[in-house]
Amino acid sequence: MNKVFLVGRLSPERDLRYTMSGKAVCSFSLAVVFKTRVREETDAIDCVAWDALAEQIGQEGKAGHRVAIEGRLHSRQWEGADGQRRKVTEVVVRDIEFLDKPGLTRSGG
C-alpha cells in the first residue's frame, strides 16, 4: 500500500505551470512539524498536484496556510544539464483540505 497523509503549512514558493498538452501541475513544499525527545523539528516535504487540484493549490493556497493532504509517494530520476543523475521522492497529492478558517490570518509567531 502506498498512501500518505500529512498535515502542515504551505511553503511560500508554489510553482503552477502547464504542460505542452495543457495539463496544470503545481509543485510545492509542505512544512511538517514533528517532535523528538529533545525538541520540535520541521521537515519540508516536496509535493506535486495535477489538473484542477494543481490550479486550486496554485491560485488559492497562501504561504503558511495549514492544510491536510492525502496522496502517494513517487520517486523519479533524470539527468541534469550538468550530466549528473538526480533523484527526487515526492508526494503526488490526490486530495487537499484547507484547515485555516476563512477570514483568519496567521500571526508570525
Interval 39-92: pLDDT, tens: 999 999 999 999 999 999 988 888 899 999 999 999 999 888 898 998 989 999
pLDDT tens readout for residues 22-47: 999 999 999 999 888 999 999 999 99
Compute the distance between CA of residue 44 and CA of residue 60 in angstroms, rounded to an integer. 20
Query: Is 23:16 a contact under the CB 8 Å cutoff?
Result: no
Compute the distance between CA of residue 8 and CA of residue 98 in angstroms, rounded to an integer. 10
Beta bridge partners of 67: 8, 98
pTM of the entire predicted model: 0.82
3-state secondary structure of 39: coil
User: Which residues, in sequence order, are CB contacts of 26 under 8 Å at separation 6+?
Assistant: 14, 15, 16, 17, 48, 49, 50, 53, 54, 55, 57, 58
- Say which CATH class 4-98 falls into: mainly beta
The residue assigned the cell 492544510 is 67
